[in-house]
Structure 1
């Protein structure tokens, strides 16, 4: 039986109130027992404070919720509810173990909501060793040595897609960028045959799976019989059926082997394909949309990136290759500032398998006990005023030589693509495809944002712009300076 999302949240509220009444005192006594290391545990937000916490989250957003507790409790604090303890680590001073810890000490399996989409044979449904092997197979196309070969097919996809626009018109920028990035992901990461099957039903089904598989309810109850979970599962089943008919790519991936010589299975290959599309398309489409919204709302920085494109056109003509993309430093900083203000996820999570110590900037030391979940609140960390001047202001020049606020603040100040042992392999690939898209749009179209600047959709685990992002366009040829 399907359960509406509203009913799920109502049930959560009832259970929460019951938990507050019946377990609060017992939970506090248990948690306040002496530390195994003789060091205090972090200050804790208990169940009876959760109502205020959730009200702040609902009314003001994630950043405001963390800020409230940060002001009261400092840079390390624990939120305790439902018998779970989530310890928040604010700022680079307490982030070292989060990013440098061994997987035997910190688990990465905090993304159960992805399992119904990628499948039980791959990713976070598997043990660390198997997941590492699968990543090796999956991410070969993302390695730096392969990036140069991706520029030409990316350009071809972008040019062909936007050639279909008229001389002028109005579009939903978010939808347009989702479509072109789906084609790029298929072409560069999986091959031309997959790309040729990316439009029509596949695109619709993939978006249906994502829309119904990445909201807050899914994250809390990924296997519950909710309406959105059923829609997600139906879309995923149809995608799997479509992919099994694409013989070439399946054969290519099936020919891949694990370290012990075992070949991949068909269900593993299907899951890996879905995972690759998620990695190549989802984050980049959101960042590309925010990049457009920010540039079209800030004439000074729009003029700066246009001037950079004019200079490059004068120097190289219409040619674009890997090295030319690297010269687009102004555009790079504009994208990086978007990632700071609109990161792909509000927070990263790990599961503590072995207790460890953290020391705050003020010198206070805490023990983080085994069994806790630790969180690095990226959306908040990216807005710490002592690191980023006027963090609420869109200012790409903060990353230019002479300022470089992300480096001046020390290690782990900018962790949009992870850090330490847990860096994202696709960082260079993501920047490259966003630059290819926006350099083409800036050179060939006059653009104007006609809808209000989009709000953040907090119903999604991976926050996206809320609603349509309507843009008018007029075709033009950018003159060189």
Structure 2
């Protein structure tokens, strides 16, 4: 981990300043005297400071694992007047995930998302409205809807992987229209839009491919990030963005992502450059979504995409979603889906290419599916890719995109450990469910530090045997991620195509986790050597 002592002291200084501001603005939160259960083991500020060297040199996961091993599945850190209670394991997670809003809520934890997505959706609106919006997402991403997204996803993967693996090295800079003969699946010509100041002819592209040949090295993390942005644009926003505005959309979302940082988390409206870029990007993205919606309404055009589903949604009182609400919801959905999927898909590649035993099994599964279904890829065929699915799930277990999920207690609560000890956590505590640690508990997962996709297959199913919330990297209960199935669908389409059409080898060291990022992604470049092939079913 590259965090320095200076950086940690800066963090503590910012935290202290923020705490003082909150202290002045709000009355001090005190524990309800009605909490009669014994409190969890507690660390005070002195004990916390002693852990700083470990935090700086080995990172948050090692630090939290040390505290778990010392204190057990429930412990509290007290910093000034702020109490944070940590939960590890499914046995103490039931109320965290399934408690009512009057018991455990998300509170104002995610206030930093308001300037990212706007004032008429998400955490800018009341709980009842927010829950209805989540149901809009669930309805738009239900399996019957996901089936219609497979073909657009396939087209994007085909076009991107046939071009970006080589086109990335070209000095192209605003729109190139590239005609590629012979789409891998359809056998037809396909077109993609790429930022450039000139139009590249197909013969120029053919010369370019001849120059670079059939093999090379790419940064897998960067390529998957771009592919998933294209998929999100096509499936969630529609053809208008994909065909005309993708370059601008990609840049604007980079501005939104840049606003997810430590300062923005604690002080979302603090006038730093990253927050300024975030605000400008949000304003422009909302304008683009407004233009698309108004164009559809003016022309009477109805599309089969998520944007249209959100436009047509109605709240319980009968009124339609507003333009501002739809724009915010679609931006939030693209951000969440693309970012998490990019992280999980990159870790999937790094894990599979490092563990050739499982890579061979996944490739053989693709051969078997090709024997049965030829080159056909649809929702049903993707559901047959069980080993690939388990490989993705195992990468997510070992490398979740977050250390923990956050809630706030609205009343005194009681949690019971697997040993039977009961602890009382008072009203006002911040709760952090350490899903990263839960996913590596040895009493749930055999050899939890070992990459083993078979642990999720019939006969073992360690996550189910371990009990509800043993696998919670996508959340759980009423706040479970509505896009989980969509994420797996995207990642399976991408990796199915990669494994069928390329021989791949990881050439950089296995990546470490980048703890400097709010969403935990692989650190640095993930360099992969590729060589084109067409996988034979025999």
TM-score scaled by structure 1? 0.90
Q: Distance in 2 between matches of 1:331 and 1:195?
A: 28
**Counterpart check, 1:96 vs 2:94:** yes
Query: Paired residue for 2:42?
Result: 44
Q: 2:261 maps to what in 1?
A: 215
Which residue in the other structure is 2:229 paired with?
A: 182
Find the counterpart in structure 2 of residue 225 from structure 1: 271
8 A Cα contact 2:134 2:482, kept in partner:
no
Correspondence for 1:87: 85
What are the Cα deviations for residues 291-318 of structure 1, in whole angstroms up to 9, with x where unaligned? 1111111111111111111111111111
Shift of 1:372: 0.9
Shift in alpha-carbon separation, 1:177–1:18, aligned structure 2, 3 A: closer
- Which residue in 1 is equivalent to 2:143? 144
Displacement after TM superposition at 1:94 (Å):
0.7
Match of 1:245 in 2: 291
Judged with a 3 Å threshold, the aligned counterparts in structure 2 of structure 1 residues 191 and 82 are, in CA distance, closer, same or farther, namely farther
CA deviations over 1:101-121 (Å, ceiling 9, x no partner): 012221124222222211122
CA distance in structure 1 between the aligned counterparts of 2:18 and 2:398, rounded to whole angstroms: 37
Do structure 1's residue 205 and structure 2's residue 215 form an aligned pair? Answer: no
SS at match of 1:394: coil
Q: Secondary structure at the match of 2:51?
A: helix
Q: Which residue of 2 aligns with 1:134?
A: 133
* Alignment partners' CA distance in 2, 1:365 and 1:249: 58
Tell me, yes or no, if the aligned pair for 1:358 and 1:365 is still in contact at 8 Å.
yes
Q: How does 1:75-474 map to 2 (within 5 A)?
A: 75-109=73-107, 110-164=109-163, 165=165, 166=209, 167-210=214-257, 212-247=258-293, 251=297, 252=308, 253-474=310-531
Tell me if structure 2 keeps the 8 A contact 1:182–1:198.
no
In 1, Cα distance between the equivalents of 2:118 and 2:421? Answer: 43
1:330-363 Cα shifts (integer Å, max 9, x gaps): 1011000011011122111111112111111222
Note if contact 1:351-1:374 (Cα within 8 Å) is conserved in structure 2. Answer: yes
Q: Larger deviation: 254-263 or 340-349?
A: 254-263
In the TM superposition, residue 8 of structure 1 has moved relative to its aligned partner by 10
Following superposition, the deviation at residue 322 of structure 1 comes to 1.1
Of the structure 1 ranges 90-99 and 105-114, higher mean CA displacement relative to structure 2 is found in 105-114
Counterpart Cα distance in 1 of 2:16 and 2:111? 22
Cα drift, residue 254 of structure 1: 4.7
**Bigger mean CA deviation after superposition, 332-341 or 108-117:** 108-117
Partner of 1:27: none
Q: Using the alignment, how far apart are the partners of 1:285 and 1:174 within structure 2?
A: 7
Offset of residue 226 of structure 1? 2.3
Moved more, 54-63 or 289-298: 54-63
How far has the Cα of 1:91 moved from its partner? 0.9
Alignment deviations for residues 16-61 of structure 1 (CA, whole Å, 9 cap, x no partner): 49999xx9xxxxxx97x88514211212111222212343222212
* Unaligned stretches of 5+ residues in structure 2: 1-5, 24-28, 166-208, 298-307
Given that residues 233 and 246 in structure 2 are in contact (C-alpha distance below 8 angstroms), is that contact kept between their aligned partners in structure 1? no
**CA-CA distance at 1:265 after TM superposition:** 2.9
> Who is 1:3 aligned against?
none
Q: Distance in 2 between matches of 1:470 and 1:345?
A: 23
- Contact 1:250-1:269 at 8 Å conserved across structures: no
Select between 324-333 and 201-210 the one with higher mean Cα deviation. Answer: 201-210
In 1, Cα distance between the equivalents of 2:86 and 2:114? 25
| Equivalent position SS for 1:200 | helix
Structure 1 CA distance for aligned equivalents of residues 504 and 253 of structure 2:
28
Between 366-375 and 111-120, the greater mean CA deviation after superposition: 111-120
- Partner Cα separation in structure 1 for residue 282 and residue 485 of structure 2: 29
Match of 2:203 in 1: none
Is the partner of 1:41 in helix, strand or coil? coil
Q: Number of residues paired by the alignment?
A: 466
TM-score, normalised with respect to structure 2: 0.81
Cα gap change, 1:461 to 1:426, in 2 (>3 Å)? same
Q: State which drifts further: 274-283 or 436-445.
A: 274-283
**Helix, strand or coil at the partner of 1:99:** helix
Distance 1:53 1:347 in 2: 19
Q: CA deviation at 1:384?
A: 0.9
Moved more, 47-56 or 172-181: 47-56
Give the match for residue 477 of structure 1.
Answer: 534
CA contact (8 A) 1:186 1:198 kept: no
Q: 1:122–1:271: 8 Å Cα contact kept in structure 2? A: yes
Secondary structure, in 3 states, of the residue corresponding to 1:158? helix
Describe the superposition over 1:117-162 as per-residue Cα deviations: whole angstroms up to 9, x where unpaired. 1112210121111112222334432112212121121112111221
Give the unaligned 5+ runs of structure 1.
Answer: 1-5, 24-29
Q: CA deviation at 1:250?
A: 7.2
Provide closer, same or farther for how the CA distance between residues 469 and 201 of structure 1 changes in structure 2, counting only shifts above 3 A. same
> Please, which moves more after superposition, 324-333 or 52-61?
52-61
Please, what is the CA RMSD of the aligned residues? Answer: 2.5
Compared with structure 1, are the counterparts of its residues 14 and 223 closer, same or farther at alpha carbon in structure 2 (3 Å cutoff)?
Answer: closer
Residues 194 and 249, structure 1, Cα contact 8 Å, conserved in 2: no
